[in-house]
Amino acid sequence: MAEWLVEEGIGETRAILVERGAIRAARIAWDTPLRAGLVAAAQVVSRRKGTKRGTVRFDDGGEALADMLPPESTEGSSVTVLVTRAAISERGRTKLPQARPAPGEAPRPAPSLAETLEGAKVIRVNAHDGRFDDAGWTELVEEALRGEIAFPGGSLTVSPTPAMTLIDIDGDEAPRALALAAVPAIASALLRLDLGGSVGIDFPTLPEKKDRQAVDSALADTLGDWRGERTAMNGFGFVQLVSRLERPSLVHLYSRKPSAAARILLRRAERVSEPGALLLTAHPAVRRQVRAEWEAELSRRTGRGIVWREEAGLALTAAFAQAIVP
């Protein structure tokens, strides 16, 4: 029986759908208030002339792109909005959250990650529980950090771009065989990496129409429980998937290497079982991402003092934690 496991981490909440001992789907929510489902008052700070679009600013200073603004929502006016998508970070830039007017709705915070989970029982666990790691959490994090997923006969490369998330297929098999072998891995990646929005898949070029139809049929069968729309493969081997986008995927989150590495380090520190103070060794860029309140929470959860050692030569994601005698 499948079940959602939820870890309330430091700086993030993690959820995995575990079925038969393996991770079938995963989601991560970083501790930002501007998440899908938030209803709050905001001020229109700019509006594009002749359109219903503009930028709104919330009381905490956060901003979002707003659509469907009514004529009376001029610059400087107040409007109640519903956040429909969290911020999405890509290499080199960050897309602001998206929102739309929500007249008459009462202000409410965004639902927690656990409250958004469907289809299975939700069980809250802690970092010491071990069930995340037993299901393959460490391996999933490595896939998201690298953007690479191996499958029999080839591999996928998942890359976030400004237009869409691209999945490239590489391998030594013949084009038709390679394309068909990639289909189960693609279906798995969509759920495991929480890929939403526009996803482009670059299959090997298949000149024969019957070969393209075979891949389309395999995708249709394998994506049976996936919610979205799909184009047929064109003559260049390209397929586009479109689904609802409410939050950044694991690949988007982990493309923000220092921020992601800081959260990974905090989880590692929580799991240290040996007695003593906690020594956190990290690249200076990772150390700077750890907020004072996060460090205080780590100390509170573990009941330990925290000692830092910065190493500029250490890879961002190679930070580690260990117990020491102070």
Would residue 249 count as lying in a domain?
no
Please check whether residues 127 and 146 belong to one and the same domain. Answer: no
Q: By C-alpha distance, which of 126, 206, 130 is closest to 174?
A: 206
Please check whether residues 238 and 265 belong to one and the same domain. Answer: no
Would residue 111 count as lying in a domain?
no
Would residue 108 count as lying in a domain?
no
Please check whether residues 237 and 150 belong to one and the same domain. Answer: yes
Q: Quick one: tokens of 238?
A: 């390209």
Give the pLDDT band of residue 89 (cuts 50, 70, 90).
confident
169 within 8 A of 233, measured Cβ to Cβ: no
Residue 192 belongs to domain spanning: 141-242
Cα–Cα dist 105/245, whole Å: 22
Please check whether residues 28 and 67 belong to one and the same domain. Answer: no
Report in angstroms the alpha-carbon separations of 305 from 83, 262, 264, 279, 326: 39, 18, 19, 9, 9
What mean pLDDT value characterizes the chain? Answer: 94
pTM, two decimal places: 0.91
Please check whether residues 148 and 55 belong to one and the same domain. Answer: no
Please check whether residues 230 and 146 belong to one and the same domain. Answer: yes
Give the pLDDT band of residue 326 (cuts 50, 70, 90).
low
Please check whether residues 124 and 25 belong to one and the same domain. Answer: yes
Q: Is the pLDDT of residue 93 over 90?
A: no
Would residue 109 count as lying in a domain?
no
Please check whether residues 146 and 208 belong to one and the same domain. Answer: yes
Would residue 266 count as lying in a domain?
yes
Mean pLDDT of 24-47: 94
Please check whether residues 10 and 126 belong to one and the same domain. Answer: yes
Would residue 218 count as lying in a domain?
yes
φ/ψ of 202, rounded to 5, equals -100, 90
Q: Quick one: tokens of 14?
A: 């993690």
Would residue 251 count as lying in a domain?
no
Mean pLDDT of 223-252: 92
Please check whether residues 9 and 58 belong to one and the same domain. Answer: no
φ/ψ of 12, rounded to 5, equals -165, 160
Please check whether residues 18 and 48 belong to one and the same domain. Answer: no
Beta bridge partners, 44, equal 56
Predicted local distance difference test score (pLDDT) of residue 92:
64
The domain total for the chain is 4
86 within 8 A of 98, measured Cβ to Cβ: no
Give the pLDDT band of residue 176 (cuts 50, 70, 90).
very high
- CATH number, domain at 67? 2.40.50.140
Please check whether residues 305 and 191 belong to one and the same domain. Answer: no
Cα–Cα dist 150/182, whole Å: 9
Q: Is the pLDDT of residue 4 over 90?
A: yes
Would residue 172 count as lying in a domain?
yes
First to last CA, the chain: 46
Predicted local distance difference test score (pLDDT) of residue 91:
66
